[in-house]
């Protein structure tokens, strides 16, 4: 057995929520790359052929929103959000973990509230059949994806809070 294979056997697998969030973040990254390619193609078309991609800004708006929401759960799962601990450095590690867990629960609550408000918006856009101005793309599916990702983020924040409370940062 090679050294690489032997070294990989002892490494614990990340939790399911982190793997799921990571896969969604990769999809968001691919969407960001596709969006960048769309912008480059539109700019080249505008500059050299006097023919930009029609409605490119509508596609960029929707794709950017989805991509951003796809990165947030992974960031939370990896504990990658900015933490200001200026006033807590004197506390024992366990106390800091409990405080962080409380803030994760607050974050989950806020994202749940944002998700609920977005869900109301999705239902309203679905009922009204609102479309984009130029391409006439229905708006609600992009909003629904962002809403689902907001709820996923709330779930991930609850999972990280539970891990901190159980002593597994």
In a domain, 86, yes or no: no
In a domain, 48, yes or no: yes
CA distances 162 to 98, 101, 118, 129, 165, Å, are: 10, 7, 26, 40, 5
Q: Is the pLDDT of residue 4 over 60?
A: no
In a domain, 9, yes or no: no
Give the tens place of pLDDT for each residue, 60-76.
Answer: 999 999 999 999 999 99
In a domain, 3, yes or no: no
Q: Are 110 and 151 in contact (CB under 8 A)?
A: no
The pLDDT-based confidence of 6 (bands split at 50, 70, 90) is very low
In a domain, 67, yes or no: yes
Q: Which residues contact 156 (CB under 8 A, 6 or more apart)?
A: 17, 21, 73, 76, 77
In a domain, 113, yes or no: yes
Domain that holds residue 131: 14-80+91-165
Give the tens place of pLDDT for each residue, 94-138.
Answer: 998 999 999 999 999 999 999 999 999 999 999 999 999 999 999
* Number of compact structural domains in the chain: 1
In a domain, 7, yes or no: no
């Amino acid at each position: 057995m090679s050294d690489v294979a032997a070294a990989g056997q002892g490494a614990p697998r990340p939790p399911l929520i982190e793997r799921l969030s990571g896969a969604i973040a990769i999809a968001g990254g691919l969407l960001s790359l596709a969006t960048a390619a769309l912008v480059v193609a539109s700019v080249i078309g505008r500059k050299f052929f006097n023919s930009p991609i029609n409605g490119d800004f509508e596609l960029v708006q929707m794709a950017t929103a989805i991509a951003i929401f796809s990165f947030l759960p992974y960031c939370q799962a990896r504990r990658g959000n900015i933490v200001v601990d200026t006033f807590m450095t004197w506390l024992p590690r366990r106390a800091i973990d409990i405080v962080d867990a409380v803030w994760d629960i607050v974050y989950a609550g806020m994202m749940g509230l944002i998700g609920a408000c977005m869900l109301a918006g999705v239902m309203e856009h679905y009922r009204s059949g609102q479309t984009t101005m130029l391409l006439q793309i229905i708006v609600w599916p992009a909003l629904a994806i962002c809403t689902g990702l907001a709820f996923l983020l709330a779930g991930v924040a609850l999972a990280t809070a539970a891990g901190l409370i159980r002593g597994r940062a």
